């Protein structure tokens, strides 16, 4: 076997890998573009993880939030505008049911999860467990 055939084989595998990665990325992005899942921002503060989810036009009573077996389940429904009251010229929003799941880290306190909806953004605060937060150590004097 010469070096050229080996390079060609690795080149073929690289192409297959790039193609599969592109396909998976496209499928995931299409789901988001179709509105099957709401857009999220997740960030970390000193003692809390924060998830912000864009839910414009979604009523509080149409949102469900559940923590179960280390997974945050977010689901709900954006109601379709009443066709009798509205003559829509252009509508790029998505309507209907949505759902999102996030696996929580083991370093969170699932019992302390808090959420609030304001200005079309659901803000979920997930506190970190006490055992992972920095602890001040008190130093004793050995001089009696």
CA dist., res. 59 & res. 117, Å (int): 9
Total residue count of the chain as it appears in this document? 144
What string of DSSP letters covers 107-133? TB-GGG-EEEEETTEEEEEEEBPGGGS
Domain ranges of the chain: 1-34, 38-132
The 10s digit of each residue's pLDDT in 6-19 is: 555 556 666 666 65
Average pLDDT over the chain reads 79
Which single residue is written with the structure tokens 């979920």? 124
The 10s digit of each residue's pLDDT in 95-118 is: 889 999 999 888 888 888 999 999
Topology annotation, domain 38-132: Immunoglobulin-like (2.60.40)
Higher pLDDT, 118 or 32: 118
CA dist., res. 22 & res. 12, Å (int): 15
CA dist., res. 71 & res. 102, Å (int): 6
pLDDT at 28 over 60: no
pTM for the full predicted model: 0.66
Q: What is the pLDDT of residue 31?
A: 46
């Amino acid at each position: 076997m010469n070096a050229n055939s080996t390079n060609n084989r690795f080149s073929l595998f690289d192409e297959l890998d790039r193609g599969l990665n592109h396909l998976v990325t496209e499928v995931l992005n299409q789901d988001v573009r179709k509105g099957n899942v709401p857009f999220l921002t997740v960030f970390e503060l000193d003692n809390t993880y924060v998830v912000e989810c864009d839910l414009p036009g979604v009523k509080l009573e149409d949102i469900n939030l559940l923590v179960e077996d280390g997974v945050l389940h977010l689901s709900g429904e954006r109601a379709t505008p009443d066709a009798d009251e509205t003559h829509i010229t252009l509508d790029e929003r998505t309507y209907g049911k949505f759902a999102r799941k996030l696996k929580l880290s083991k370093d969170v306190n699932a019992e302390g999860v808090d959420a609030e909806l304001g200005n079309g953004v659901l803000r979920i605060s997930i506190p970190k467990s006490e055992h992972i937060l920095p602890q001040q150590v008190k130093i004793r004097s050995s001089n009696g």
